[in-house]
Structure 1
């Protein structure tokens, strides 16, 4: 299978095709595809769904991906790699985390709000104009437009159930899962007493309820989610261990290191090196 790389922080590409060679490939970067015109099918990881104009798709690194084109189509591609993410403020990385950890990577348009489709189309058309016309501060304007599109994508994904719900997790657990995601940076809000008060449960019952709905204990889920966030920091930012310790509420660096090694089989520094971010 073909592996495609990106040699710049980001890349924009307008593609018009009558047919599309059905050769599946994998990227080493992130890709957003907006359909300006045409019909056909999008295939990601052996899943297949139709596409049409005003659809926005997300393609993640290592996803197997291709299109089948039925009518002449026009696609606009926004591609960006981890070096682009590193240039953004860390609050931006937090915005992206919902995409990384809660989208199920299956095919299909992620724009669930009807009014967002013409908005994204207008932003894409503005990107195309800005990309073609050489104007002062061109790159800054392009980045602002790109970031706005990604933020809209993240907003729409928050309307979808977390992918974890596909694995024997009841939709009854969705409010609890969203609460954990929202307060993951505030350890005191993740204490059983605080959660019980918020949901009007007794402290002794909320853990039983969560496990009955999800198959995991509260602490197991919180730990697993924190580990995903640590992985994101190690792969896509230049944050130091002590900064991650402070942000995620660990007692100290040794606590984070022990936890990470217990579940991942290697230290955070080894993980960072293995993923090319040493």
Structure 2
């Protein structure tokens, strides 16, 4: 299988074609692919997924794909490396890398279109038009405008989960469980905020009741769910990123590097170095 290597932090491409010239491949960067018009099949991670106008896909470096075009298709590609968010002074790249982590960590995001809401499709289409215009113009502040428009797209994607269009009544305990999961997702990088005591305080329940309710509806303890979630996000960052152990410790809210090493050992039974070798066998440590 072919692998494409990108050295620029960002490439934006807007093109229409009726012939896909790239064989099944993966790459060393991330790709947000928006289908402005046309239809066909997206061969993505061993699945054949029909695509249509308004579909959007987010691919990480380990994802493999190709398009089988049935009708001439207008693609907009936003291809960026993990260093892209480091480009702008005064920004906090960790926050936006976390948005990418969360989107890629969701099982439903790996084989399907991420845009479901019709109004959001129009918003994303307009944002990509602005991105392409500024990218090609390359004038004063164009790069910063492109960055702001792209971050707006990420925020739109975060509200297009699998249940975004469902309107149904839920039992009170189901409502609080959904709120708990959302709270954990928003605060997972801050260990103090996701302690059982702090979660209970936030939702005005006792720590014991929160633990019992979570175990009843999710099937696992609150503590284990949070640890597993953090560990899976950390593994994903190790696969895709090139941050130092110190930076990873800061991003994930560990008190120091030794705490990070201990966490990995507890979760996996492996050292951090061994885990890196397992996830990225070709890397030189």
Say whether the fold is shared (TM-score over 0.5): yes
Runs of 5+ consecutive residues of structure 2 not aligned to the other structure: 166-173
Distance 2:212 2:257 in 1: 31
Say whether residues 1:151 and 2:149 are aligned partners.
no
SS in 1 for 2:108: coil
C-alpha deviations, 1:32-82, integer Å up to 9, x for none?
A: 111122111222112233222222221222112121211111111111112
Say whether residues 1:236 and 2:233 are aligned partners.
no
Distance 1:79 1:23 in 2: 18
Distance 1:251 1:7 in 2: 33
Mean alpha-carbon deviation: is it higher for 108-117 or for 250-259? Answer: 250-259
| Alignment match, 2:23 | 23
Distance 2:270 2:85 in 1: 24
Distance 1:264 1:68 in 2: 39
C-alpha deviations, 1:196-242, integer Å up to 9, x for none?
A: 4555665444434433433322211111122234445655364653x
Is the 1:113–1:156 Cα contact (8 Å) retained in structure 2?
Answer: yes
Distance 1:179 1:277 in 2: 37
C-alpha deviations, 1:66-113, integer Å up to 9, x for none?
A: 212111111111111122244462222233332132353333321233
| Alignment match, 1:32 | 32
C-alpha deviations, 1:164-213, integer Å up to 9, x for none?
A: xxxxxx99853332222223244444333443455566544443443343
TM-score if structure 2 supplies the norm length? 0.77
Question: 1:175–1:54: structure 2 CA closer, same or farther, 3 Å change rule?
Answer: same
Say whether residues 1:183 and 2:187 are aligned partners.
yes
TM-score if structure 1 supplies the norm length? 0.79
| Alignment match, 1:114 | 118
Say whether residues 1:226 and 2:230 are aligned partners.
yes
Question: 1:140–1:176: structure 2 CA closer, same or farther, 3 Å change rule?
Answer: closer
| Alignment match, 1:97 | 101
Cα RMSD for the two superposed structures: 3.4
Is the 1:33–1:58 Cα contact (8 Å) retained in structure 2?
Answer: yes
Distance 2:200 2:135 in 1: 51
| Alignment match, 2:72 | 72
Distance apart, 1:122 and its partner CA: 1.4
Distance 1:207 1:148 in 2: 35
C-alpha deviations, 1:118-176, integer Å up to 9, x for none?
A: 12111212222233334333333333333332332233348669xxxxxxxx9985333
Is the 2:104–2:110 Cα contact (8 Å) retained in structure 1?
Answer: no
